[in-house]
């Protein structure tokens, strides 16, 4: 099977892929030339997934409490009321918890620290 185009025209991409220039591809510098220590800036952040899960749990508990805290509605069963509340209350609590998480992120995200990363060779 040939890799050449069906109309037998010259294909520069094919030639470039098999050219001897691949043998001279850049390699990583030797370990002696790489920096031993690098200084970087780090910021703390809130895990938003945790706040979203917490919002779902709190919303579900709140929906169950609200369903059974009040007398049964004459037009809807308790399960229907629970379903409505699960949808709306859970969505609302997730939004509230995400807003809280973003506010915390604004406060603690301002604090930046400098750390020094040190490269350790395999032999050490």
Which parts of 15-118 are beta strand (E)? 37-43, 112-118
What b/e sequence results for 43-78 when a residue is b if at least 16 CB atoms lie within 10 Å of its CB, and e otherwise? eeebeeeebbeebbebbbebbeeebeeeeeeeeeee
Rounded mean pLDDT for each run of 10 residues along the chain, 124 residues in total: 46 50 58 72 86 96 94 91 95 96 88 80 62
Distance CA 80, CA 58 (A): 19
Domain spans in the chain, listed from the N-terminal domain onward: 56-114
pTM of the model: 0.59
């Amino acid at each position: 099977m040939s890799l050449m185009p069906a109309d037998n025209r010259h294909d520069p991409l094919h030639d470039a892929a098999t050219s001897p220039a691949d043998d001279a591809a850049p390699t990583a510098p030797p370990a002696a030339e790489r920096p031993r220590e690098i200084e970087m800036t780090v910021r703390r952040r809130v895990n938003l997934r945790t706040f979203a899960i917490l919002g779902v749990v709190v919303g579900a508990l709140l929906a169950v409490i609200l369903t059974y805290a009040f007398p049964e509605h004459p037009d809807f069963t308790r399960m229907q009321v629970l379903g409505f509340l699960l949808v709306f209350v859970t969505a609302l609590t997730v939004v509230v918890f995400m807003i809280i998480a973003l506010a915390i992120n604004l406060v603690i995200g301002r604090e930046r620290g400098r750390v020094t990363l040190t490269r350790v060779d395999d032999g050490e």
